[in-house]
Homo-oligomer: A and B are copies of this chain.
Amino acid sequence: MAKGKAQKQVPRYLQVCNELVEMIRTGEVAVGDMLPTELELCDRFEISRHTAREALRRVEDMGLVERKRGSGTRVTAREAPVVYNQYVANIDELMQYGQATRLAICSAANDPVPARLASALGCKPGERMPHLLGLRSYRDQNSAPPICLTEIWIPHASANQAKLLLDLEKSERMLYKILDFSRLSRVRQTLSADSLATDAAELLEADPDSAALVINRRYHDLGDRLILMAISTHPKERFRYSTELRSQ
């Protein structure tokens, strides 16, 4: 190889990491197969176990392999998925609203689930669960029309939680206290457009049949159980949903 000295630009562990990534990319080691063990890498590349581990750690960080003590290193993907990070500071921002808005609860009842929502809620049509309806507006602008109409369904609520929820006259912040959002692991959001139904239009002080942005959010806990589903209907021009995806 004839390395005088300055060849050292790329650290050894990165070289090994790259070779491993390449082995996976070309399919020399297929998805599902085991990568060489740390000690085998030590032999093959003439490196210490520390260096082998550093290389494997990088490959793991790329999301290409899964390591398990006692078992080994298994390939889980052929190419690194492009990961975009979306940073969200707190639960409010996750709900896409800051401190500036509040949700005024219009009604709260133990309602039967309509057929169109049954599958999304993972229950049978007609089953009853806590169901809230509220209007979100800017905290300081009482005269302005609301930003959106929000419908909330809460499956798997305990009897005690249900009681608290139905008494709910306060802001939505109480929701976070009653439900355990600290166990949040996954949120699925679906955005679509629809025209406003007449009753919704009235509440929202908007024209019937005008366009609206509908956001359906489902919050799952660590056990992947649906904690809450919220459907927000925003008349056009009152709301925009923005996300920024950053690579790596």
Chain A contacts to B: CB under 8 angstroms? 81-90, 94, 184-195, 210-214, 234-237, 239-247
With a cutoff of 8 Å between Cβ atoms, the chain B residues found around residue A247 in the complex are 184-186
With a cutoff of 8 Å between Cβ atoms, the chain B residues found around residue A82 in the complex are 87-90, 94
Min CB distance A34 to B, Å, is: 24
With a cutoff of 8 Å between Cβ atoms, the chain B residues found around residue A244 in the complex are 186-189
Determine the residue in chain B with the shortest Cβ distance to A246: B186
With a cutoff of 8 Å between Cβ atoms, the chain B residues found around residue A184 in the complex are 247
Is B246 touching A190 in the complex (CB atoms < 8 A)?
A: no
Q: How far is the CA of A87 from the CA of B211 in the complex (A)?
A: 30
Is A84 touching B85 in the complex (CB atoms < 8 A)?
A: yes
Determine which of B81, B90, B187, B195 lies in contact with A211 in the assembled complex, contact meaning CB atoms within 8 Å.
B195
14 intermolecular pairs with C-beta atoms under 8 Å apart: A81-B87, A81-B89, A82-B88, A82-B90, A82-B94, A85-B86, A94-B245, A185-B247, A188-B245, A190-B242, A193-B214, A193-B235, A211-B212, A213-B213
With a cutoff of 8 Å between Cβ atoms, the chain B residues found around residue A86 in the complex are 83-86, 245
With a cutoff of 8 Å between Cβ atoms, the chain B residues found around residue A185 in the complex are 246-247
With a cutoff of 8 Å between Cβ atoms, the chain B residues found around residue A90 in the complex are 82
Is B187 touching A245 in the complex (CB atoms < 8 A)?
A: yes
Q: How far is the CA of A67 from the CA of B30 in the complex (A)?
A: 36
Question: Given contacts A184-B247, A246-B186, are A241 and B192 in contact (CB under 8 A)?
Answer: yes
With a cutoff of 8 Å between Cβ atoms, the chain B residues found around residue A94 in the complex are 82, 245
Is A241 touching B89 in the complex (CB atoms < 8 A)?
A: no
Is B87 touching A243 in the complex (CB atoms < 8 A)?
A: no
Q: How far is the CA of A248 from the CA of B186 in the complex (A)?
A: 10
With a cutoff of 8 Å between Cβ atoms, the chain B residues found around residue A89 in the complex are 81-82
9 further A-B pairs in the complex, CB-CB below 8 A; given A186-B245, A192-B213, A194-B211:
A81-B89, A84-B85, A84-B86, A186-B244, A190-B241, A191-B191, A191-B213, A191-B241, A193-B235
